[in-house]
Amino acid sequence: MPVEPVFETRIDRLTILDEHGRFDEELGAGLIPDEDVVALYRHMVICRHLDEIAFKLQRSGRMGTYPENRGQEATSLGAAYALQKKDWLVTCYRENAGLFWRGLPMELVLLHWMGDERGNEIPEGLNVTPLAIPIGTQMLHATGLGWASKYRGDDGIACTFFGDGATSEGDFHEAMNFAANLDLPVIFFCQNNSWAISVPTRIQCSAPTIAQRGLAYGMDCIQVDGNDIFAVVKAVRDAAERARTNQRPTFIEAVTYRLGDHTTADDARRYRDDEELEMWKLRDPMIRLRGWLDARGLWDDSKQASLQEEAEAHIAAAVQRASDIEALPPTEFFKNMYKTMPPNLQQQMSTMRTSSLGRNPETADQSAVS
């Protein structure tokens, strides 16, 4: 029997505005109106300032562990800009820029990391999910949301974000398998920032690109420069068109970098060398976009100074709203767990005692409660 190829493909890498300021006029023509580029840049600066303040809040003991978004703003922001309001953003925990662009109040993210569950109460109509801390679970939720949109015929899409490390989780493969085999309108957006906490991508994936993992499921796959917001917008728009037209999922690998530690509980100096960090600082998406604006006369230092003052006031107000929120009574913990509270929780709420340690709250010695 002759040997014949049964499958051949290639994976393209998309860049429109590179780290040296070169802009592909053909691919980038009309992609984002100038006034929108200015708005996106302004948004990046404000989000970057939030990161700086959140870091200080954690270090001063006013907030718990916090994962910086610094360096990865173009990924979720570009996606949020390219998608429609009816589409779902299904995030993990480094997508502040996209969530805030969609309209999520900044104080909710601060409350989340302060340990206040009200930070997860998403306002009606935003179509974003609460931050997902377990690695990879949100991809299954996105597949379910995409399935629901297809069933209802509402032309909606679910776009889920995750890191390179999450592609080693079983949840990732189950979500990809369902989405591909059932023809669901889902965009799998991998933010490959080179590190899964302290584990480098080369150990997470032996293939030349993480995007190749989508090929096993018959998906369209592309790698983009994740620090190029123009490339992100184009890739997501193309994927969204495929999803709406053909009900097919797409895998996007956005190559980016987290300039900070994994979280404030991490010290990246223990596993990452200074040379690598300095190289990626030069590829900062915010610096790149500022250069594009300067070259076209759309921005200058006076506008930057004014924006910095605006950012400081904006973030200070968000911190104030999060800090001044009124404390809730302990009963609120019970009320938001189930639509209909089960009897055991009703009993616990009324007595403020638990039988989980083998003690009946109806007969236990109440004097033992402090």
Burial class of residue 358 (count of CB atoms within 10 Å of its CB; 0-12, 13-18, 19+):
exposed
Q: Which residue among the candidates 141, 262, 288, 353 is catalytic per the annotation?
A: 262
Amino acid at 120: N
Q: Distance (Å, rounded) from C-alpha 188 to C-alpha 171?
A: 13
Q: Is there a catalytic annotation at residue 81? A: no
Q: Distance (Å, rounded) from C-alpha 246 to C-alpha 186?
A: 11
Q: Distance (Å, rounded) from C-alpha 128 to C-alpha 148?
A: 15
Q: Is there a catalytic annotation at residue 258? A: yes
Strands of 220-225's sheet, edge to edge? 13-14, 220-225, 250-255, 186-192, 158-163, 88-90
For 79, 290, 294, the CA distances from 301, given in Å and listed in that order, are 28, 10, 9
Q: Which residue among the candidates 22, 59, 269, 271 is catalytic per the annotation?
A: 271
Q: Distance (Å, rounded) from C-alpha 180 to C-alpha 230?
A: 27
Question: Cα-Cα-Cα-Cα dihedral of 183, 184, 185, 187, to 10°?
Answer: -100
Interstrand relation of 220-225 and 88-90 (parallel, antiparallel or unpaired):
unpaired
At CA 312, angle to CA 308 and CA 316, rounded to 5? 170
Q: Distance (Å, rounded) from C-alpha 260 to C-alpha 208?
A: 25
Q: Which residue among the candidates 258, 272, 288, 353 is catalytic per the annotation?
A: 258
* DSSP three-state, residue 70: coil
Which token pair is 67? 């994962």
Residues with catalytic function: 258, 262, 271
